[in-house]
């Protein structure tokens, strides 16, 4: 079991890996990747039965695996402005694929790797649903941080210069949603967020 323990210990790095998007936005004590993973898996558990053609168990499994590679490569920003990019999207996926292969190898990882690959491909309704829940978790977290006043809205933010408050997390999510349940959740969260900030969100 030595290889399994080594892989598990490396996977635990997700508990300490902070989410880069929140770091760039100046959020005080931002969530970890592991916390985000829990959020996505929980959304999948709660809402899979409201989405046509979605396998709940498969969705929750995809959610648990979708950012596992970041235990090794870190949370690489791919949606910030150009000066804040560390690597491009294709390179990020390649690095994640290599990390996933290694981290799942001790667990006879073919089945798990295929789940991760299916998530990345977005060719099934389940994979598209999980990605929507990934985006929805970001929006929920933005609302939570807004309520908790976890950043200084008066401070200039060079990472996301074109947006006010935490609008960028809604603006980047809106065009990428692919399921009716994702769109409904988005609208409900955005409405609550707009009430908190006292204006319409920039999309």
Is 106 part of a structural domain of the chain? yes
pLDDT at 147: 96
pLDDT at 153: 83
Inter-residue contact 171 to 139 (CB < 8 Å): no
Cα distance between residue 173 and residue 139, in whole Å? 8
Instruction: Kindly report whether the global pTM for this prediction surpasses the value 0.85.
Output: yes
Is 82 part of a structural domain of the chain? yes
Is 125 part of a structural domain of the chain? yes
Is 31 part of a structural domain of the chain? yes
Is 203 part of a structural domain of the chain? no
**Which residues, 6+ apart, have CB-to-CB distance to 46 below 8 Å?**
none
CATH number of the domain that residue 71 is part of: 1.10.3210.10
Q: How many domains does the chain have?
A: 1
**Which residues, 6+ apart, have CB-to-CB distance to 152 below 8 Å?**
26
Is 119 part of a structural domain of the chain? yes
pLDDT at 77: 75
Question: Which range of residues forms the domain containing residue 174?
Answer: 2-197
Is 202 part of a structural domain of the chain? no
The list of the chain residues with pLDDT below 70 reads: 78-86, 159-160
């Amino acid at each position: 079991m030595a290889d399994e323990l080594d892989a598990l210990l490396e996977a635990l790095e997700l508990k300490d890996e902070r989410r880069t998007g929140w770091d760039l936005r100046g959020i005080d004590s931002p969530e970890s990747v592991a916390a985000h993973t829990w959020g996505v898996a929980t959304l999948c558990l709660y809402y899979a039965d409201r989405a046509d053609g979605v396998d709940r168990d498969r969705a929750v499994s995809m959610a648990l695996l979708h950012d596992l590679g970041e235990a090794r490569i870190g949370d690489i920003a791919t949606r910030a402005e150009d000066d804040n990019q560390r690597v491009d999207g294709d390179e990020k996926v390649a690095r994640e694929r290599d990390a996933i292969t290694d981290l799942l190898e001790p667990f006879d990882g073919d089945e798990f790797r295929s789940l991760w690959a299916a998530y990345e491909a977005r060719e099934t309704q389940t994979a598209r649903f999980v990605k929507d829940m990934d985006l929805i978790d970001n929006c929920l977290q933005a609302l939570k941080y807004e309520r908790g006043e976890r950043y200084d809205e008066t401070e200039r933010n060079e990472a996301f210069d074109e947006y006010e408050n935490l609008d960028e997390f809604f603006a980047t999510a809106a065009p990428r949603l692919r399921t009716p349940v994702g769109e409904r959740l988005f609208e409900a969260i955005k409405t609550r967020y707009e009430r908190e900030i006292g204006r319409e969100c920039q999309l």
